[in-house]
Amino acid sequence: MAAQDELVGRTLDEAGITMEDVSRVACANGSRERVEGRAMIPLDLPMSLSTWEQGRTVGHIGASDQMVALEQLLLSGELRRGDPFLMLGVGPGLNIACAVIEIIKNPHWSAARPATAA
């Protein structure tokens, strides 16, 4: 957990944000206990900011978990322009990864797109 904490801290610093700025968090799909225990509790964030609700419907789909979550959040409009999205990844052995993605524009296919005048 110390390596993950260090990596997340460094990633947030590089992005110029704090944990309080993070809109949502995606990690590998798994049981609620696993997502909560390995990601959300160490990050001191509520499960409501995780992508577990979406991930539980599809299960673990390998390296695509975080990208599918990102797509679903954009499709539903739950991520909008200006939202920082934190992605955590783990792999065999001690491979961990972290990225912050800032949504700079609502995609035209997103439910978050602005309404157009009729």
Q: Of 12-26, 46-60, 99-113, which gets the smallest average pLDDT?
A: 99-113
Three-state SS sequence of the chain: CHHHHHHHHHHHHHHCCCHHHCCEEECCCCCHHHHHHHHHHHHCCCHHHECHHHHHHHCCCHHHHHHHHHHHHHHHCCCCCCCEEEEEEEECCCEEEEEEEECCCCCCCCCCCCCCCC
pLDDT in tens, 70-99: 999 999 999 999 999 999 998 777 789 999
Domain at 2-90, CATH class: alpha beta
Q: What is the mean pLDDT of the chain?
A: 90
Above pLDDT 90, what percent of the chain? 73
* pTM of the predicted structure, to 2 decimals: 0.87
Q: Of 37-41, 43-47, 111-115, which gets the smallest average pLDDT?
A: 111-115
What is the structure's pLDDT at 116? 53
Residue 115 in this model has a pLDDT that exceeds 60: no
Angle (nearest 5°) at CA 99 between 94 and 102: 170
